[in-house]
Structure 1
């Protein structure tokens, strides 16, 4: 669903890319790095919550790590997208509507549902 939308939107993409070190240490691998026709880069992290579990609790940390990655390399990455899919989120509405209020540099990250991301990517609006 995501990759066909990225392609339809005219983006070139690479999967499972090591973009450096996470906040606090450790390797930071994102699901996709996409580039538009002008060569602007976008980081994409996909989180799926099929059943109740820990993916939900990792969202704020991933948001901070993505913002840090964009801030660290503004010449490579313009923005990051944290995409939340699956049926079992209890905090998805909060994350997509309000989490960024609590983080600095919210202009560097968009947190959205899978459906919203696919719609934007299809239209080339990342």
Structure 2
């Protein structure tokens, strides 16, 4: 599938769900599609959402098997860089879709990246269900 095709549209649905959850639980306290810092290569980074001006929320949808599960590591490292450079609190990556392999999904949701990436504890990976549960009780 070419970039910008169906994969982008299905990812947008994932983002729309996250936006709805934030709207219900944190009205007026978040922004979407915010340029905030630079990625590992020095290019501008656009956060899917920024909550309370200090929490980044990145939405990662994987409809079919592919490379997104490997790209999560790069996303974690970029988020750590941005958090540290901008004195921000924390970041969440909200994963969804059935395209993640069982082992990759288990690795990420058990926060195993913390064992291998310096300052990895600054970034927490949540399933969409976990994200909704936390947002519903204002625990983000």
2:33 corresponds to which residue?
16
SS of structure 1 residue aligned to 2:99: coil
Distance 1:107 1:100 in 2: 6
What TM-score, normalized by structure 1, do the two folds share? 0.87
Decide which of 48, 55, 76 is 2:68's aligned counterpart: 55
CA-to-aligned-CA distance 1:6-61 (integer Å, 9 cap, x gap): 123225111111112111222211100111xxxx5210111000001121110000
2:20 corresponds to which residue?
4
Would you tell me which structure has more strand in proportion to its own residues?
1
Would you tell me which structure has more helix in proportion to its own residues?
2
Distance 2:62 2:18 in 1: 16
Instruction: Kindly report structure 1 stretches of 4+ aligned residues shifted beyond 4 Å.
Output: none
How many matched pairs? Answer: 120
- Structure scoring higher RCO (CA < 8 A, sep ≥ 6) equals 1
2:8 corresponds to which residue?
none
State the superposition RMSD in angstroms. Answer: 1.4
Unpaired runs of 5+ residues, structure 1, are: none
What TM-score, normalized by structure 2, do the two folds share? 0.79
SS of structure 2 residue aligned to 1:99: helix
Say yes or no: does 1:106 pair with 2:120. yes
Decide which of 48, 51, 54 is 1:34's aligned counterpart: 51
